A and B are shown apart, each in its own frame.
Chain A
Amino acid sequence: DTGVSQDPRHKITKRGQNVTFRCDPISEHNRLYWYRQTLGQGPEFLTYFQNEAQLEKSRLLSDRFSAERPKGSFSTLEIQRTEQGDSAMYLCASSSTMTGTSYSPLHFGNGTRLTVT
Protein backbone atom coordinates (compact mmCIF):
# COMPACT_ATOMS: atom_id res chain seq x y z
CA ASP A 1 0.00 0.00 0.00
CA THR A 2 1.84 3.08 -1.26
CA GLY A 3 -0.90 5.52 -0.28
CA VAL A 4 -2.44 8.30 -2.34
CA SER A 5 0.12 10.10 -4.48
CA GLN A 6 -0.21 13.64 -5.83
CA ASP A 7 1.94 15.46 -8.32
CA PRO A 8 3.32 18.06 -8.27
CA ARG A 9 3.68 18.94 -4.58
CA HIS A 10 4.03 22.63 -5.40
CA LYS A 11 3.03 24.71 -8.41
CA ILE A 12 3.60 28.40 -8.97
CA THR A 13 1.89 29.91 -11.97
CA LYS A 14 1.00 33.28 -13.35
CA ARG A 15 -2.56 34.48 -13.45
CA GLY A 16 -4.28 33.40 -16.62
CA GLN A 17 -2.25 30.23 -17.13
CA ASN A 18 -3.70 26.73 -17.10
CA VAL A 19 -2.52 24.14 -14.60
CA THR A 20 -3.10 20.41 -14.26
CA PHE A 21 -2.65 18.25 -11.19
CA ARG A 22 -2.49 14.48 -11.02
CA CYS A 23 -3.69 12.07 -8.34
CA ASP A 24 -2.92 8.37 -8.10
CA PRO A 25 -5.25 6.71 -5.58
CA ILE A 26 -4.67 3.58 -3.57
CA SER A 27 -4.84 0.87 -6.20
CA GLU A 28 -7.90 -1.06 -4.99
CA HIS A 29 -9.94 2.07 -4.21
CA ASN A 30 -12.82 2.78 -6.57
CA ARG A 31 -13.74 6.23 -5.23
CA LEU A 32 -11.62 9.30 -5.74
CA TYR A 33 -12.25 12.77 -4.29
CA TRP A 34 -10.84 16.24 -4.86
CA TYR A 35 -10.83 18.89 -2.13
CA ARG A 36 -9.47 22.40 -1.86
CA GLN A 37 -8.10 23.85 1.37
CA THR A 38 -7.14 27.42 2.17
CA LEU A 39 -5.22 28.56 5.22
CA GLY A 40 -7.15 28.23 8.45
CA GLN A 41 -10.04 26.37 6.85
CA GLY A 42 -11.08 22.77 6.61
CA PRO A 43 -10.96 21.02 3.23
CA GLU A 44 -13.76 22.04 0.87
CA PHE A 45 -15.33 19.37 -1.33
CA LEU A 46 -14.91 19.86 -5.08
CA THR A 47 -15.90 16.63 -6.81
CA TYR A 48 -15.77 12.86 -6.60
CA PHE A 49 -15.64 9.84 -8.89
CA GLN A 50 -16.75 6.28 -8.54
CA ASN A 51 -14.63 4.36 -10.99
CA GLU A 52 -14.58 6.58 -14.08
CA ALA A 53 -17.94 8.25 -13.46
CA GLN A 54 -17.99 11.74 -11.97
CA LEU A 55 -20.93 11.45 -9.58
CA GLU A 56 -20.97 14.82 -7.88
CA LYS A 57 -19.53 18.24 -8.46
CA SER A 58 -19.68 21.14 -6.02
CA ARG A 59 -21.77 24.12 -7.03
CA LEU A 60 -18.83 26.21 -5.89
CA LEU A 61 -16.72 24.78 -8.68
CA SER A 62 -16.57 27.21 -11.56
CA ASP A 63 -16.51 26.19 -15.22
CA ARG A 64 -12.76 26.82 -15.20
CA PHE A 65 -12.28 23.65 -13.20
CA SER A 66 -12.52 20.22 -14.77
CA ALA A 67 -11.64 16.80 -13.43
CA GLU A 68 -11.27 13.49 -15.20
CA ARG A 69 -10.68 9.89 -14.30
CA PRO A 70 -10.65 8.25 -17.71
CA LYS A 71 -9.81 4.67 -16.79
CA GLY A 72 -11.03 4.64 -13.25
CA SER A 73 -7.51 4.77 -11.90
CA PHE A 74 -5.59 8.06 -11.73
CA SER A 75 -7.35 11.42 -11.95
CA THR A 76 -6.42 14.88 -13.19
CA LEU A 77 -7.73 18.24 -12.06
CA GLU A 78 -7.30 21.10 -14.49
CA ILE A 79 -7.78 24.77 -13.74
CA GLN A 80 -8.03 27.05 -16.75
CA ARG A 81 -7.25 30.77 -16.72
CA THR A 82 -6.07 30.68 -13.13
CA GLU A 83 -6.95 33.52 -10.78
CA GLN A 84 -5.25 34.58 -7.55
CA GLY A 85 -8.25 33.27 -5.64
CA ASP A 86 -7.40 29.78 -6.86
CA SER A 87 -4.31 29.75 -4.66
CA ALA A 88 -4.85 26.90 -2.22
CA MET A 89 -3.86 23.36 -1.34
CA TYR A 90 -5.59 20.85 -3.60
CA LEU A 91 -6.09 17.52 -1.87
CA CYS A 92 -6.97 14.18 -3.39
CA ALA A 93 -8.45 11.29 -1.44
CA SER A 94 -9.59 7.79 -2.23
CA SER A 95 -11.78 5.19 -0.60
CA SER A 96 -13.31 1.82 -1.27
CA THR A 97 -16.94 0.77 -1.33
CA MET A 98 -15.90 -2.85 -0.87
CA THR A 99 -15.21 -2.76 2.85
CA GLY A 100 -18.63 -3.96 3.87
CA THR A 101 -19.33 -0.89 6.01
CA SER A 102 -21.70 1.94 5.22
CA TYR A 103 -19.01 4.58 5.27
CA SER A 104 -15.36 3.97 4.50
CA PRO A 105 -12.65 6.38 5.57
CA LEU A 106 -11.07 8.60 2.96
CA HIS A 107 -7.31 8.31 2.60
CA PHE A 108 -5.66 11.57 1.62
CA GLY A 109 -2.58 12.43 -0.36
CA ASN A 110 -0.17 15.19 0.71
CA GLY A 111 -1.74 17.67 -1.68
CA THR A 112 -0.59 20.06 -4.37
CA ARG A 113 0.01 23.60 -3.18
CA LEU A 114 -0.91 26.09 -5.90
CA THR A 115 0.27 29.68 -5.84
CA VAL A 116 -1.09 32.03 -8.48
CA THR A 117 0.91 35.23 -8.85
Chain B
Amino acid sequence: SQELEQSPQSLIVQEGKNLTINCTSSKTLYGLYWYKQKYGEGLIFLMMLQKGGEEKSHEKITAKLDEKKQQSSLHITASQPSHAGIYLCGAVGYGGATNKLIFGTGTLLAVQP
Protein backbone atom coordinates (compact mmCIF):
# COMPACT_ATOMS: atom_id res chain seq x y z
CA SER B 1 0.00 0.00 0.00
CA GLN B 2 1.14 3.51 -0.74
CA GLU B 3 2.38 5.21 2.44
CA LEU B 4 2.72 8.69 0.99
CA GLU B 5 -0.32 10.36 -0.48
CA GLN B 6 0.04 13.31 -2.82
CA SER B 7 -2.70 15.72 -3.77
CA PRO B 8 -3.83 16.73 -6.21
CA GLN B 9 -2.93 13.95 -8.64
CA SER B 10 -2.85 16.46 -11.46
CA LEU B 11 -3.07 20.20 -11.80
CA ILE B 12 -3.47 22.61 -14.69
CA VAL B 13 -2.75 26.27 -13.98
CA GLN B 14 -2.33 29.37 -16.07
CA GLU B 15 1.08 30.94 -16.25
CA GLY B 16 1.60 33.39 -13.44
CA LYS B 17 -0.71 31.65 -10.98
CA ASN B 18 0.37 30.24 -7.64
CA LEU B 19 -0.16 26.61 -6.71
CA THR B 20 0.34 24.17 -3.85
CA ILE B 21 0.99 20.44 -3.84
CA ASN B 22 0.59 18.40 -0.67
CA CYS B 23 2.27 15.26 0.57
CA THR B 24 0.75 13.44 3.54
CA SER B 25 2.08 10.53 5.54
CA SER B 26 0.41 8.32 8.10
CA LYS B 27 3.74 8.01 9.89
CA THR B 28 6.30 10.48 11.17
CA LEU B 29 8.64 11.67 8.46
CA TYR B 30 12.34 11.63 9.30
CA GLY B 31 13.45 13.10 6.03
CA LEU B 32 11.20 14.47 3.30
CA TYR B 33 12.46 15.06 -0.23
CA TRP B 34 10.89 16.85 -3.14
CA TYR B 35 11.84 15.91 -6.69
CA LYS B 36 10.74 17.03 -10.14
CA GLN B 37 10.57 14.72 -13.14
CA LYS B 38 10.15 15.52 -16.80
CA TYR B 39 8.34 12.83 -18.77
CA GLY B 40 10.67 9.98 -19.68
CA GLU B 41 13.59 11.37 -17.69
CA GLY B 42 15.15 10.95 -14.29
CA LEU B 43 14.31 12.80 -11.11
CA ILE B 44 15.80 16.17 -10.28
CA PHE B 45 16.37 16.91 -6.60
CA LEU B 46 14.65 20.09 -5.39
CA MET B 47 14.77 20.21 -1.60
CA MET B 48 15.08 18.15 1.55
CA LEU B 49 13.34 18.87 4.86
CA GLN B 50 14.12 17.22 8.18
CA LYS B 51 12.95 19.35 11.06
CA GLY B 52 9.37 19.99 12.06
CA GLY B 53 8.34 23.47 10.97
CA GLU B 54 11.24 23.70 8.53
CA GLU B 55 10.80 25.76 5.39
CA LYS B 56 13.13 26.00 2.40
CA SER B 57 13.00 27.98 -0.80
CA HIS B 58 14.70 27.74 -4.15
CA GLU B 59 13.88 30.38 -6.71
CA LYS B 60 10.07 30.43 -6.81
CA ILE B 61 9.53 27.10 -5.09
CA THR B 62 8.98 26.84 -1.32
CA ALA B 63 8.61 23.63 0.64
CA LYS B 64 7.46 23.25 4.24
CA LEU B 65 7.35 20.38 6.69
CA ASP B 66 4.66 20.71 9.35
CA GLU B 67 5.42 20.63 13.08
CA LYS B 68 4.18 17.08 13.48
CA LYS B 69 6.33 16.00 10.55
CA GLN B 70 3.51 14.16 8.82
CA GLN B 71 2.72 16.56 6.01
CA SER B 72 4.69 18.63 3.58
CA SER B 73 3.60 21.20 1.04
CA LEU B 74 5.30 22.51 -2.07
CA HIS B 75 4.29 25.97 -3.18
CA ILE B 76 5.14 27.53 -6.53
CA THR B 77 4.77 31.27 -6.90
CA ALA B 78 4.02 32.87 -10.26
CA SER B 79 4.20 29.59 -12.19
CA GLN B 80 5.99 29.39 -15.53
CA PRO B 81 5.91 26.79 -18.31
CA SER B 82 9.32 25.61 -17.10
CA HIS B 83 7.66 24.45 -13.87
CA ALA B 84 5.64 21.84 -15.75
CA GLY B 85 6.39 18.23 -14.89
CA ILE B 86 5.75 15.59 -12.27
CA TYR B 87 6.45 16.51 -8.67
CA LEU B 88 7.27 13.65 -6.33
CA CYS B 89 7.69 13.61 -2.60
CA GLY B 90 9.87 10.96 -1.06
CA ALA B 91 10.40 9.91 2.54
CA VAL B 92 13.00 8.00 4.49
CA GLY B 93 12.74 6.34 7.82
CA TYR B 94 9.69 4.15 7.26
CA GLY B 95 9.64 0.98 9.30
CA GLY B 96 13.16 1.51 10.55
CA ALA B 97 14.59 1.30 7.05
CA THR B 98 16.46 4.56 7.28
CA ASN B 99 18.22 4.29 3.95
CA LYS B 100 15.30 3.52 1.70
CA LEU B 101 13.53 6.38 -0.03
CA ILE B 102 9.82 5.72 -0.60
CA PHE B 103 7.94 7.90 -3.09
CA GLY B 104 4.42 9.18 -3.40
CA THR B 105 2.48 8.67 -6.64
CA GLY B 106 3.33 12.12 -7.91
CA THR B 107 1.48 15.24 -9.01
CA LEU B 108 1.39 16.10 -12.69
CA LEU B 109 1.60 19.85 -13.24
CA ALA B 110 0.77 21.55 -16.52
CA VAL B 111 1.24 25.31 -16.92
CA GLN B 112 -0.70 26.96 -19.71
CA PRO B 113 1.02 29.97 -21.34
Q: Using a Cβ–Cβ cut-off of 8 Å, how many residues does chain A contribute to the interface with B?
A: 26
Q: How many A-B residue pairs have CB under 8 A?
A: 62
Cβ of B92: which chain A residues have Cβ within 8 Å of it?
103
Task: Tell me the smallest distance from the CB of B43 to a CB of chain A, in Å.
Answer: 4
Q: A41-B105, A41-B106, A105-B48 in contact; A113/B43 too (CB < 8 A)?
A: no
Cβ of A107: which chain B residues have Cβ within 8 Å of it?
45
- Picked from A45, A91, A102, the residue with its CB within 8 Å of the CB of B50 is A102
**What 1/0 mask marks residues of chain B from 85 to 107 whose CB sits below 8 Å from any chain A CB?**
00010101000011111111110
Cβ of A28: which chain B residues have Cβ within 8 Å of it?
none
- Please name the 8 residue pairs, one residue from A and one from B, whose CB atoms are nearest each other, closest first: A42-B103, A103-B31, A108-B42, A108-B43, A110-B42, A105-B45, A43-B103, A42-B105
Chain A residues within CB distance 8 Å of chain B: 4, 31, 33, 40-45, 48, 50, 55-56, 89, 91, 93, 102-103, 105-111, 113
Chain B residues within CB distance 8 Å of chain A: 4, 30-31, 33, 35, 40-45, 48, 50, 88, 90, 92, 97-106
